[in-house]
Amino acid sequence: MSGRTSGVLFLISAPSGAGKTTVCQNLLAANSDLVRAITCTTRPARDGEVNGRDYYFLDETEFISKIEGDAFLEHAVVYGNRYGTLKSEVQRLLESGKNILLNIDVQGAALLRRRAESDPLIRDSLVTVFLTPASWEELERRLRSRATDSETIILKRLRAAAVELGASEAFDYLVLSETMDEDRRRMETILEGESMRRSRNQLPEVLCEAAEKWGAK
């Protein structure tokens, strides 16, 4: 018996182009005890994206009604579209004892940190990681290597990156991005350590029973 009491809500934020999507995909592929919390967005689905797998794609009216129904743990506008993390999704996965991967922006991370002050489920599970290349040149190179973005969008994302780097101080961990394998390994190191926190684990029952017997002798 593992004696596990609660999972880790493993939040990763990064400037766009930092390699966050790849590291998240690699982490999920290599760790069967880690599941992704699917979040909501009002942006249109990109080619190949599937509703309920990549995001819950909502229209503006549906999103607003979820805000009004207090369905979100956090929600924010990112590059002109709304994004939000459903309470029900996170609660369900955390209560099943799984580790949850949450790929959200720095505004969402700040909102969840604030929420942790009053919500014990989030307080006991939230671990925040900020991922960034170690140099501005590398950040810009990675952004530019995504041939799909126009110059205007690249400049907008670079300005946003400067703001996001400023917000990185409030995160629990800072991971400087190198190779894909090294990034995944570093994330796994954090996740493994956090999973072994005493507050997240109880002694196995069989061990307690044996200790009780020996203590009684």
Interacting residues toward ligand 5GP by CB under 6 A: 39, 43, 74, 76, 78, 83-85, 103-105, 107-108
* β-bridge pairing 40-41 and 81-86: antiparallel
Closest residue to ligand 5GP using C-beta atoms = 108
Q: Which residue's CB is nearer to ligand 5GP, number 105 or number 183?
A: 105
Q: Which residue's CB is nearer to ligand 5GP, number 54 or number 188?
A: 54
**Least separation in angstroms between CB 182 and ligand 5GP:** 21
Q: How far apart are CA 41 and CA 60, in angstroms?
A: 9
**Least separation in angstroms between CB 132 and ligand 5GP:** 13
Q: Which residue's CB is nearer to ligand 5GP, number 26 or number 107?
A: 107
- CB-CB contact of 36 with 127 (8 Å): no
Residue 46 DSSP class: P
Q: Which residue's CB is nearer to ligand 5GP, number 99 or number 103?
A: 103
Identify the bridge partners of residue 129 per DSSP, sorted by sequence position: 12, 173
**Least separation in angstroms between CB 59 and ligand 5GP:** 16
Record the tokens describing residue 50, joined without a space.
Answer: 């599937």
Ramachandran region, residue 104 (left: φ > 0; alpha: ψ -120 to 50; beta: rest):
beta
